[in-house]
Amino acid sequence: MKELVFGINAVSEALKGQRRVYKIYAQRERQDKRLEEILTLAREKQLKLQYLEKKKMDELCEGKHQGIIAEVERYPYADLGQVLEKLQAQKEKPPFLLLLDGIEDPQNLGAIIRTAECAGVDGIIIPSHKSAEVNPTVSRVSAGAVEHMAIIRENNLVNTIKYLKQEGFWVLGADAKARQSYFNTSIPSPTALVIGGEGQGIRRLVRENCDILVRIPMFGQLNSLNASVAAALLIYEVLRQRLNLLPG
């Protein structure tokens, strides 16, 4: 199965990642230094290259291509067991996983993946149902971060959480009704952070299986944050606490 990846960052990272790239489409007569860098890399990899008029490029991906499109294999989801096996051999830092309970907006999923990759999250687990999947929009919004992130699809998040606990993870859930704020919560490692979907948050059974629940304080008229913003705050709080524990 093939799909299209579009946008300068998304295509650039696809060329650097593990996915197979079949073909590159470039907008005819478009001048852009970053675009030329991608085309140079494509030629080095001896990939098929085809120049198209802007109108045809627009038809392929609704005009969001920035002059470059790649035809690639479908995103290869990772296996949880293999990810955990790799993490067991990791000595430089404790494992950090992110679980997304029903993020249905591809824009939010892409933004979360981008933040997670920047913060050094080791893997992201999403449910197989009622969740956005990795698609060209997610790849574009993530600025190509999907190419460097292990993303796992699981049928049952509750069972996955129970399994992670058996493997030594502490499960931290973001819940608007939690008693304690993340400002004054010590987050243990290895960490599995659970972020809920837009509007509804984490589901009851998922919430009941978390070891720790924290809320993000709200002082304005609104009572919730965008899911990708909430994820960013908590991901970087985990990172901040870990960095503060390092000697020196």
Q: Are 44 and 119 in contact (CB under 8 A)?
A: no
Residue 67: both structure tokens together: 């002059």
Residues 234 and 28: their CA atoms lie apart, in Å, by: 43
Q: Is 224 a residue whose pLDDT tops 80? A: no
CA distance linking residue 232 with residue 226, whole number of Å: 10
Give the percent of the chain with pLDDT over 90: 77
Count of C-beta atoms within a 10 Å radius of residue 32? 15
What is the per-residue pLDDT for 201?
A: 87
Helices then strands (H, E): number in the chain? Answer: 9, 11
Characterize the bridge pairing of strands 212-215 and 170-174.
parallel
Kindly state the helix (H) or strand (E) to which residue 97 belongs, with its residue range: strand 96-101
Spell out the CATH class of 80-245. Answer: alpha beta
Q: How high does pLDDT run on average in the chain? A: 92
Mean pLDDT of 70-74: 95
Please give the pLDDT value at position 228.
94
Our CA dihedral for 210, 131, 117, 74, rounded to 10 degrees, sits at 140
Q: How far apart are CA 6 and CA 25, in angstroms?
A: 9
Rounded to an integer, the average pLDDT of 152-173 is: 97
Spans of all domains in the chain: 2-73, 80-245
pLDDT at residue 76, rounded to an integer: 94
Strand partners, 27: 52
Q: Pairing relation of β-strands 170-174 and 151-154?
A: unpaired
pTM listed for this prediction:
0.93
97 in Cβ contact with 121 (< 8 Å) = yes
Q: Residue 78's beta-bridge partner residues?
A: 152
d(CA 7, CA 38): 11
Q: CB neighbours of 33 closer than 8 A, spacing ≥ 6?
A: none
Query: Tell me, what's the pLDDT at 130?
Result: 85
Question: What pLDDT was estimated at residue 246?
Answer: 60
Could you read off the pLDDT of 98-146 as tens digits, one per residue?
999 989 999 999 999 999 999 999 999 999 988 999 999 999 999 999 9
Q: Given 3-state DSSP classes, what are the helix, strand and coil percentages for the chain, each rounded to the nearest 5? A: 40, 25, 35
Q: Which CATH class is domain 2-73?
A: alpha beta
